[in-house]
Chain A
Amino acid sequence: METNRKDSIRIEAPERKDSALCQALTPTEPLMLPSNFAHVTLRRIERERLARERRERVIAIVTVVACLLLGLAAIGYFYGTALLAAFRTMFHQSESFSLIPAIAFCCLFFALLNHYLRRRYA
């Protein structure tokens, strides 16, 4: 009875007093980290960060390209015939077609300007 009561008290408040147990827990040959541990780990972290960034960039490019292709395919599938007919008509009517090269040139010019300004002032 006395032992049982003692047991329950011990469960509630464990003590840290066993000298043999503490000695047994003291490592005989403690392992140490090498002196360059921090340097090596930082290099690994940096390497993994770059690899992750590269992976994310590739995933982003692949996603954008896939979306574009999907969009073009959808346009082609739903409006392909109508678009072809419209293009054919446009090529045959040279007056309407004469605007296209000018618009294309303007678009290219603005795209190049945008690229230049971004690189210089971003």
Chain B
Amino acid sequence: MLSEEQRLIARVLDGHTEDYGYFLERYGPEVMRLVSRLVPRQQDAEELVQDAFVRAYDRLETFGGRSSFSTWICRIAYTTTVSWLRRRRVKYLSIDDLPSLTSSDRSHRAGAQQLSDAVVDEALDDETRIDDLRRAIARLKPDEQTLVILFYYDERPLADIAFILDIEMGTIATRLHRIRRKLYLLMKHGNKP
């Protein structure tokens, strides 16, 4: 299948633009799934997916086959979406903002440091709090949301995730660990602004 795709890419680069339709049909829904998590409005998400594919077409000669086309297009879609969100100046919650959610900042900060994984695991495994968890996920930064989605939902390999988010593979586990704690804190404090 990969060599078939390489052949199609060569044809597209040769001027057969219509062959690019294969990639649009095959990877469009996957890219839409990724983009729609960060941009929930249908029209905006559609436009961003289209922008990502047009950008990919313009840079098709730079696709060397180092990753799969799916991973490559997801990376382009991710960067396109993040730039769009940045232009829109959407404010996300940083983990440093979380202590201010409680009345006793210092004790909370100390608590966050000593937060045990068992407590976090239990909270994230509690099926009665799915709505809280959903709200907490929506308040994560785009890179954090994408990381969680790619890792837990799409179950992508770490190498692909590192490529899409342009981060070191070795830092993924640490980031996930921090995000899990952040989710727990957001849930604990009732997702207050």
> A44 vs B40: C-alpha distance in the bound complex, in angstroms?
23
> A18 vs B151: C-alpha distance in the bound complex, in angstroms?
12
Say whether B134 faces chain A, with CB atoms less than 8 Å apart: yes
> A32 vs B43: C-alpha distance in the bound complex, in angstroms?
11
- The answer to whether B152 touches A23, judged by C-beta atoms less than 8 angstroms apart, is no
- The answer to whether A21 touches B29, judged by C-beta atoms less than 8 angstroms apart, is no
Given the contacts A11-B174, A41-B54, A33 and B49 also touching, CB distance less than 8 Å:
yes
> A22 vs B153: C-alpha distance in the bound complex, in angstroms?
6
- The answer to whether A6 touches B117, judged by C-beta atoms less than 8 angstroms apart, is yes
The distance from the CB of B139 to the nearest CB of chain A, in whole angstroms, is 12
**Residues 38-54 of chain A: 1 if any B CB is under 8 Å from the residue's CB, otherwise 0?**
11111011101100000
- The answer to whether B151 touches A45, judged by C-beta atoms less than 8 angstroms apart, is no
**Residues 6-29 of chain A: 1 if any B CB is under 8 Å from the residue's CB, otherwise 0?**
110011111011111111111110
Say whether A31 faces chain B, with CB atoms less than 8 Å apart: yes
- The answer to whether A20 touches B117, judged by C-beta atoms less than 8 angstroms apart, is no
- The answer to whether B45 touches A14, judged by C-beta atoms less than 8 angstroms apart, is no
Of the candidates B50, B127, B151, the one whose C-beta lies within 8 Å of that of A20 is B127
Of the candidates A27, A28, A46, the one whose C-beta lies within 8 Å of that of B17 is A46
Q: Which residues of B contact A46 (CB under 8 A)?
A: 17
Q: Which residues of B contact A44 (CB under 8 A)?
A: 50, 54
- The answer to whether A26 touches B177, judged by C-beta atoms less than 8 angstroms apart, is no
- The answer to whether B17 touches A10, judged by C-beta atoms less than 8 angstroms apart, is no
Residue of A nearest to B44 (CB): A31
Q: Which residues of A contact B176 (CB under 8 A)?
A: 14
- The answer to whether A24 touches B49, judged by C-beta atoms less than 8 angstroms apart, is no
Interface residues of B in 1-60 (CB under 8 A from A): 17-18, 20-21, 24-25, 28-29, 32-33, 36-37, 40, 42, 45-46, 49-50, 53-54, 57
Choose, from B62-70, B102-110, B118-126, the stretch at the interface: B118-126
Of the candidates A25, A26, A37, the one whose C-beta lies within 8 Å of that of B50 is A37
Interface residues of B in 142-193 (CB under 8 A from A): 148-149, 151-153, 155, 172-174, 176-177, 183
Say whether B129 faces chain A, with CB atoms less than 8 Å apart: yes
- The answer to whether B137 touches A24, judged by C-beta atoms less than 8 angstroms apart, is yes
Which B residues are closer than 8 A to A by beta carbons? 17-18, 20-21, 24-25, 28-29, 32-33, 36-37, 40, 42, 45-46, 49-50, 53-54, 57, 116-118, 121, 124-127, 129-130, 133-134, 137, 148-149, 151-153, 155, 172-174, 176-177, 183
18 A-B pairs besides A20-B125, A24-B134, A24-B137 with CB distance below 8 A are: A7-B116, A11-B174, A14-B151, A16-B151, A20-B124, A20-B127, A20-B129, A20-B130, A24-B133, A26-B153, A31-B36, A38-B25, A40-B50, A41-B53, A42-B18, A44-B50, A45-B17, A46-B17
